[in-house]
């Protein structure tokens, strides 16, 4: 968790290079009321984004992660924006999932 800010910054930079406006929310992991790591905007559409990283080719959304993602998902639905989960599969690349409707328990790199 300590190095997740590195991946949050990498994600924000990557999304800016793809034409999005991306704001990283500093301290989101420790802030009690923060529901996401980044906010994306493009062409009038907003996205709340949670950034995770794993060294494995599979990401498991354990109970505490599902609770965290559920808070973001609930906020996104109330505000009529999208909820995204961005996962950095170390030494592989990035995968993004729209979790506005459903939070998967297992996410595979391929």
Q: What is the mean pLDDT of the chain?
A: 91
Looking at residue 27, what is its pLDDT? 66
Higher-pLDDT residue of 76, 33: 76
Buried b (16+ CB within 10 A) or exposed e, 77-88: eeeebbbbbbbb
Cβ-contact 34, 25 below 8 angstroms: yes
Residue range 73-95: mean pLDDT, rounded: 96
Answer whether residue 30 shows pLDDT above 70: no
Alpha-carbon torsion, ordered 70, 79, 97, 18, to 10 deg:
-140
For the chain, domain boundaries:
4-108
Tokens at residue 55, please?
């060294």
- Torsion sign over Cα 1, 8, 29, 110: negative
d(CA 39, CA 48): 5
The pLDDT-based confidence of 34 (bands split at 50, 70, 90) is confident
Q: Which fold has domain 4-108?
A: Trna Endonuclease; Chain: A, domain 1 (3.40.1350)
Residue range 64-81: mean pLDDT, rounded: 95
Q: Which ranges of 18-109 would DSSP assign to H, the alpha helix? A: 63-79
**pLDDT tens for residues 37-69?**
999 999 999 999 999 999 999 999 999 899 999
Place of tokens 């923060």: 34
């Amino acid at each position: 968790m300590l190095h997740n800010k590195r991946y949050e910054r990498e994600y924000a930079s990557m999304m800016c290079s793809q034409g999005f406006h991306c704001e990283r929310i500093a301290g989101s992991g420790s802030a009690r009321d923060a529901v996401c790591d980044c906010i994306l905007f493009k062409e009038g559409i907003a996205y709340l984004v949670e950034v995770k990283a794993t060294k494995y080719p599979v990401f498991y959304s354990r109970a505490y992660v599902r609770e965290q993602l559920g808070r973001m998902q609930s906020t996104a639905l109330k505000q009529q924006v999208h909820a995204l989960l961005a996962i950095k599969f170390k030494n592989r690349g990035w995968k993004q999932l729209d979790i506005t409707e459903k939070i998967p328990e297992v996410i595979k790199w391929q």
